């Protein structure tokens, strides 16, 4: 989430909730885009372009305990991750 410590004094804010994400924006400053101030963590992850949230990851790990196809694919993903990580160092 974007942190705004330097708000504009005496400038009114509008708060909006869209798909589980709470945004703030200045009512009289359309040149300044809205920013995320809170909401559901999964919704914030989707809004910020993350592939999946931590709760999605936890759900996948739990399901992989009983689903061999998912477990196999996650192992392959981990191998790819380590290869990329090693090559980037």
Which tens digit of pLDDT belongs to each residue from 50-77? 988 888 999 999 999 999 999 999 999 9
Nearest to 3, CA basis, from 24, 18, 19:
24
Q: Is the pLDDT of residue 78 over 70?
A: yes
Q: Is the pLDDT of residue 3 over 80?
A: no
pTM above 0.85, yes or no: no
- In the prediction, which pLDDT does 81 show? 94
Q: Cα 20–18–11 angle (5° rounding)? A: 115
Q: Write out pLDDT tens, residues 5-19.
A: 678 888 999 999 999
């Amino acid at each position: 989430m974007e942190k705004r410590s330097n708000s504009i004094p005496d400038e009114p804010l509008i708060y909006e909730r869209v798909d589980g994400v709470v945004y703030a924006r200045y009512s009289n400053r359309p040149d300044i885009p809205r920013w995320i101030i809170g909401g559901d963590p999964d919704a914030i992850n989707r809004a910020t372009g993350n592939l999946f949230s931590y709760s999605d990851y936890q759900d996948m790990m739990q399901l992989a305990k009983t689903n061999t196809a998912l477990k196999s694919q996650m192992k392959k993903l981990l191998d790819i991750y380590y290869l990329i990580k090693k090559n980037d160092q």
